[in-house]
């Protein structure tokens, strides 16, 4: 019981265990964002949300995934994006061979190029993910034989097909 003023609603527990909301907070507060200009052509706009620091202290990289499996990766290096500005970048993406039902995602990440007092080199500070405009062809529908028959009855609709009927 408490008097209504509950103060343990931070993002870290008293024993310094992070709560799940830490991941959401990290994403919301990330210092760089990426927006697609033309994802299929590999054109994106990077925005520096810092008010005091260039993004050049971060290593930008990317990965292309098909149905959760990485098919290609690359490095974009240290991007010169002054505080509060944006810059267009190109990612050398390609349309991979896709099987029926497969989809493709591109993730652009920004990791520390050097260790900081609070995090090691390679620590991910920001990332954005994009559904690429490519899909595997849908499988052709197979003819199931007898088509459905639908009839209106006094008690409702009768639907009949191969081996079944229902109202």
- Could you report the per-residue pLDDT of 51-65, keeping only the tens digit for each? 999 999 999 999 999
pLDDT exceeds 60 at position 28: yes
**Average model confidence (pLDDT) for the chain?**
91
- DSSP three-state, residue 150: strand
pTM exceeds 0.85 for this model? no
Say if residues 33 and 79 touch (Cβ distance below 8 Å). Answer: no
d(CA 43, CA 89): 6
pLDDT at 64: 97
d(CA 52, CA 80): 13
Which residue has better confidence, 32 or 3? 32
Q: How large a percentage of the chain has pLDDT more than 70?
A: 93
pLDDT at 138: 77
pLDDT at 144: 63
pLDDT digit string, tens, across residues 79-89: 999 999 999 99
* Strand ranges across the sheet with 149-153: 149-153, 156-161, 164-166
d(CA 47, CA 81): 7
Q: Which residue has the tokens 């033309």?
A: 38
pLDDT at 3: 64
pLDDT at 14: 85
Of 4-8, 49-53, 163-167, which gets the smallest average pLDDT? 4-8
pLDDT exceeds 80 at position 143: no
Q: How confident is the model at residue 7 (pLDDT cuts 50, 70, 90)?
A: low
pLDDT exceeds 90 at position 120: yes
pLDDT exceeds 60 at position 1: no
Q: How confident is the model at residue 154 (pLDDT cuts 50, 70, 90)?
A: confident
């Amino acid at each position: 019981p408490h008097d209504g003023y509950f103060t343990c609603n931070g993002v870290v527990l008293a024993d310094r265990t992070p709560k799940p909301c830490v991941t959401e907070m990290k994403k919301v507060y990330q210092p760089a964002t990426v927006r697609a200009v033309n994802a299929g052509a590999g054109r994106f706009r990077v925005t520096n949300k810092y008010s005091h620091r260039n993004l050049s202290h971060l290593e930008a990289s990317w990965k292309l995934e098909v149905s959760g499996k990485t098919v290609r990766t690359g490095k974009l290096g240290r991007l010169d994006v002054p505080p509060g500005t944006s810059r267009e970048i190109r990612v050398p993406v390609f349309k991979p061979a896709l099987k029926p039902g497969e989809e493709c995602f591109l993730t652009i990440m920004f990791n520390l190029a050097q260790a900081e007092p609070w995090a090691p080199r390679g620590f991910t500070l920001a990332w954005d993910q994009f559904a690429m405009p490519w899909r595997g062809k849908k499988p052709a529908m197979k003819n199931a034989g007898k088509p459905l028959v639908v009839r209106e009855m006094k008690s409702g609709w009768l639907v009949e097909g191969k081996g079944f009927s229902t109202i």
